[in-house]
Amino acid sequence: MLRLGEPTAIIRLGAEATIYTLNWNGIELVAKRRIPKIYRHPLLDKEIRMQRTASEARIISEAKKHGVACPVVILVDLEDATIYMQRIRGVEARNIIGNLNQEALSLLARQVGVLTGMLHNGGIAHGDLTLSNVIVDEQMNPYLIDFGLATFTKDIEEFAVDIHLLDRSLQSTHYGVRDRFMQHFLEGYKTVLGDMIHEVLEKVKEIKSRGRYVERGTRKR
């Protein structure tokens, strides 16, 4: 176990992991530590947390290689199931998009679309693509964060799930800007994926239709 420093502030305290800041040789870092689960056998629990930590670190590093703006991994401590990475200073996109003018909103959406296209083009599905996992810095540059549910894949449906999830999150939290955001998001996405976008959007439609079917079935009960 190698701790780079003591926590200075908790950013997120989730069921799976604690995310906190720390100071290391005058540099502010973010650490993500997967929490032990007492309901699992200790050896199995450690193995699962180590595997998931290693996988997430690999995915972040691979995303970087494909040009995705995301934190730089500084150190991975598998024994402690902890990833130490660059801290991106900024705010969650969900907290600002309701206050942006149309030009700024369109530009941000297009940039997020480009980042998502780069991610998918690199064979990675984010798994939790919502505006809570997009950090925007002072220059209005977006960064993707939290790759805990991300996977290496070439499955078009996995990419479609990312887009569907983003759309659904906007529908529930920022309905007034949803259409404009998604329009420009897809414009940016297409600049990277080109004609492949049509396959992805067909899958998005399919996923939406499944959801409507389930909702109708639930109401009938």
Instruction: Collect all residues with Cβ–Cβ distance below 8 Å to 33 and sequence separation of at least 6.
Output: 17, 18, 19, 20, 80, 81, 82
Token look-up 């799930």 returns 161
Q: Which two tokens stand for residue 32?
A: 């993500």
Interhelix angle 102-121/175-193, nearest 10 degrees? 40
Q: How far apart are CA 157 and CA 36, in angstroms?
A: 32
Looking at 80, 128, 155, 195, which residue is catalytic?
A: 128
Tell me if residue 128 is catalytic. yes
Q: What's at 5, amino acid-wise?
A: G
Q: How far apart are CA 181 and CA 112, in angstroms?
A: 10
Q: How far apart are CA 155 and CA 53, in angstroms?
A: 23
Stated length of the chain: 221
Q: How far apart are CA 186 and CA 138, in angstroms?
A: 24
Catalytic residue list: 128
